[in-house]
Amino acid sequence: MSEETSVAARGLTLVFTGNGKGKTTAALGMALRAWGQGMKVLILQFIKGSWKCGELIAAEKLGPNFVIRQMGEGFIRCSNDKGLDGHRAAAQNALEEAKKAMREGAADMVVLDEINCAVHYGLVDVEDVLDIIRSKPPGLHLVLTGRNVANEVVGSADLVTEMREVKHPFAVGIPAQKGIEF
Ligand code: ATP
Ligand code: MG
């Protein structure tokens, strides 16, 4: 679509959730599309940390308008012990970064990758996510990914897509593949 539309740009809140593969991939594809339109993209990854996926390598090549920051502590093994304190602090820090970027107008699209999982694990309060959606600048696109999205977030979003697993190679023991998973 190259022709201008007569409708004023309207920032949307988009959610990719569900148990099937493709949530983060969908957000990255949308981010690439936005970047191509000259928009500034900021991707803050909750939970994920220190794992050099292909998208991080790509982001370095795409330059300052396509930024990915891994803000997490890595995989969560147990959801109900003190071991979550570090994860919680990291998630709170990521939330603050998101609010700051929105306040300062640092991006036209903000992707909060795996934030739904952060809420599910109790690292982030759902009210804080609703606050972010409510305080979003009108022109900014906000993308939230991760399994188990809270109903309240669904209620506040403009678009919600649920990826449903039909088949996944893990089920027959095929491990993660370069270019597909990382
Ligand atoms: P991707 O990052 O590939 O788009 P995703 O964001 O939909 O996947 P997550 O729930 O964030 O999925 O999980 C990330 C990792 O788990 C990926 O390596 C992905 O391939 C794998 N995965 C996703 N869905 C499934 C599934 N249904 N069964 C097994 N592994 C899965
Ligand atoms: Mg994901």
Centre of ligand 2 from the C-alpha of residue 19, in Å: 10
> What is the pLDDT at residue 74?
83
What are the pocket residues of ligand 1 if the criterion is a CB atom closer than 6 Å to any ligand atom? 19-25, 114, 147, 163, 165, 168, 170, 176, 181
> What is the pLDDT at residue 81?
56
> Where are the domains positioned within the chain?
12-162
Asked if 108 contacts 39 with a C-beta cutoff of 8 angstroms, the reply is: yes
pTM of the model: 0.92
> What is the pLDDT at residue 83?
76
> What is the pLDDT at residue 79?
58
- Sort 173 into a burial class: Cβ within 10 Å, 0-12 / 13-18 / 19+: exposed
Per-residue pLDDT of the chain (182 residues; tens, 9 = 90+): 445 555 668 999 999 999 999 999 999 999 999 999 999 999 999 998 877 899 999 999 999 999 999 998 888 776 555 678 889 999 999 999 999 999 999 999 999 999 999 999 999 999 999 999 999 999 999 999 999 999 999 999 999 999 999 999 999 999 999 999 99
Centre of ligand 1 from the C-alpha of residue 4, in Å: 36
Q: What share of the chain is helix, strand, coil (3-state, %, to 5)?
A: 40, 15, 45
Centre of ligand 1 from the C-alpha of residue 77, in Å: 16
Mutation test of ligand 1: which of 14, 17, 21 has the most ligand atoms closer than 8 Å to its C-beta? 21
**For domain 12-162, which CATH number applies: 3.40.50.1000, 2.60.120.10, 3.60.20.10, 3.40.50.300?**
3.40.50.300
Q: What is the rounded CA–CA span in Å between residue 20 and residue 164?
A: 4
> What is the pLDDT at residue 151?
98
